[in-house]
Amino acid sequence: MNAAKRREIFARLQAANPNPTTELEYDTPFQLLIAVLLSAQATDKSVNIATRKFFPGHGTPAAMLALGEEGLADYIKTIGLFRTKAKNAIATCRILLEQHGGEVPRTREELEALPGVGRKTANVVLNTAFGEHTMAVDTHIFRVSNRTGIAPGKNVLEVERKLEKFVPAEYMLNAHHWLILLGRYVCVARKPKCPQCGISDLCEYKPKTPA
């Protein structure tokens, strides 16, 4: 795929959705960090249902730490892997308080040092909370990047690197959200909704779903 086609793809995505954002609900960088940590192998909807119950009263590192592992687990037991996630979230709260003054760090290295926080989670926080031009490649972005030809790669890191290289700078801040939403609702895994897609004429996927 050439640069002109990529630029047109992102221009159209921007025109259709000028201010995209995560579907996770949060008020602070800390709450976003916890929500993303909880969202691994879970839907944003299921995470939002859980966090609505405890963010109002326990939405800071100190308050969540006081809640404790068992207390948090009780709130998130409807989410997959909830015990591991509760353990990691509480350990993260402790580290934030002891090493970062209760604030979420703004470097990938410091974020990835937190329990349960991998590269994808760190990139989401850096991009969404702090406005960094990072690209968090999940299954949706990996599929869309390969299927459309925007940034094909054999693994998530390769796709991440290619997106960072190929996405025009003026679209980089929001590209992560546009691609996730495209993959979640239009360019779905089993049968992409090509007739409904605003970039289908630019996409290089050969076996397009007919109208």
Of 45, 74, 120, 206, which one is the catalytic site residue? Answer: 120
Nearest to 72 by CA among 43, 51, 102: 51
Q: What is the DSSP letter of 205?
A: -
Encoded tokens for 148: 């459309």
Asked if 120 is an active-site residue, the reply is: yes
208 is catalytic: no
Backbone angles phi, psi at 159, to 5 degrees: -65, -40
Q: What is the C-alpha separation between 186 and 205, in angstroms, rounded?
A: 14
Among 173, 172, 211, smallest CA distance to 191 is for 211
Active-site option among 27, 44, 85, 138: 138
Q: For the chain, what's the residue count?
A: 211
Residues marked as catalytic: 120, 138
